[in-house]
Structure 1
Amino acid sequence: MRFIAFAHEDGRPAIGARLDAERIVDLSADGLPDTLDELLRQGESGMAQASAAQQRARSVLPIDGLRLLPPVGNPAKAFAIGLNYVDHAAESRFELPRHPVVFQRYPSSWVAHGQPLVRPRVSREFDYEAELVAIIGKGGRYIPTSSALDHVAGYSIFNDGSIRDYQLRTNQWTLGKNFDASGGFGPEMVTADELPAGAKGLRIQCRLNGETMQDANTADMIFDVATLVSACSEAMALQPGDLIITGTPAGVGLARTPRVWMKPGDVCEVEIENIGVLRNGIVAEA
């Protein structure tokens, strides 16, 4: 299934299941929760109810014109992974990590598909990063890699927009990775059963104003999804709705000569094969 979070004209949140390229079933109108966060907490029973509601298709809406929301609105944790592609680690002049490099992103730092990314007034060094997101469906602690993928409900797309000068001021990246509305997340969650195991082998690209800046494959990750789920669960119990933003390949603006930054008026697209396209314009902070 493909889940889309959206807002009605009066601002009420809802979730839908895609029927085709043009239509969704409004699951919330059929008695299901208003958010994917809550549906994931219901586990297998919630997913079964969603599938049944999709088949009934009692309330069908056109996708065109809907105001989309990030697929998961308020995760307990959003792990972001740094330096997880060999070529990106090399262009960033870091040694290959022996363990996953983990930092946090906060919900205030991302917007939905179609919403603008905001370049802050304190910096011009606004970079793009195409990334796959794994969304946890079943919680757990000390999860072995052999069963880790059983804990993943589905996958989505992230643009890990980074304010590079703030990120690199210290050896802790959190500030530069969490400016308000600096990242994009969406447009939907594709359930794991629709993709290869661990979403491995999918082409991942970033385009800035139509020009391809990043072009790689999720098979090139140093630490695959199962390894990341297991590693994150060693430190803290995972919960349904938690995110693991799995890292970016080579081609970021920081590593180019001359450097390339996102600027007001630009349009940035991140595409992952069989998942979709995340598109955001860029605006200056008011």
Structure 2
Amino acid sequence: MSPLSIDHHGWLMRSQVMLASKPRWPRGPVARRSEAIDGTADTAVLRLQQLLNDAPAGRFDTLTLHLGTPWVRYTVLPWQDNLKRDADWQGYARVLMASQFNVATDTWRVAIEPGPYGAPRLAAAIDQGLYQTLLELARTRKCRLSAVAPLLTDVVNRYHSAVKSPEFALIVAEAEHISCLFRKQRAWRGVVTLSAPAGGMAGASLTALARDAAMLASDFVPRTLYLAGGHDQAPEHLDGEFELNWLGGLHPLLDAVREWARPEVVA
């Protein structure tokens, strides 16, 4: 019996596009496929389209997209009393990001996390043209686009209840980039994305990365680190300066890393 409904999850990374297709009803095996890309948006969309075309299809499919670096940019917005509307906050975010990244941001689509009055807010932005292309891709494939989720905010929401320390750095490790988000006194203090350490996520490399990220993006160096990434990216130990807490993978469907080379695996 062919699945009536399939949940497709796609990941756009710097050098790879991945797709996991999980039948929702009736339940069945998860199909996982991936393709290498050259880091351009056109190639990323083309490879994603090819993966979707080759994936199993139902009548009521959904598509959730998770965007990593370089497709998403992040910043922390200091609180501004005079900003009342969402459009005001988005304009403010574009001005800060234009200065931070030294690029024009007029065509960026900005999402700003809701938060309590007076608290800094985390903002994420993607190119509006890329967003519209992904929308059209979902329509062409006859999938309901459930979300286009920045990977960092996706991880923040996924592991919110597991983060207990009042002061910490959340480190999200992709294959080629590392995003570090700092929090203190119940407020975001800064965020930065760096190239992944050449030597991998060994203890010394992660320690140096945490210090460098704090110098670039934060007004404090946290003792507590929370790490999410591939299971091969979890260091065995750090020096005494930091306390490392391993959160887990970026997404449950990404945990079976060894299975991506196979056409199908059982969930």
Normalised by the size of structure 1, how large is the TM-score?
0.30
Structure number with greater CO (CA < 8 Å, separation at least 6) is 1
- Which has a greater percent of helix? 2
Normalised by the size of structure 2, how large is the TM-score?
0.31
Q: Which has the larger radius of gyration?
A: 2
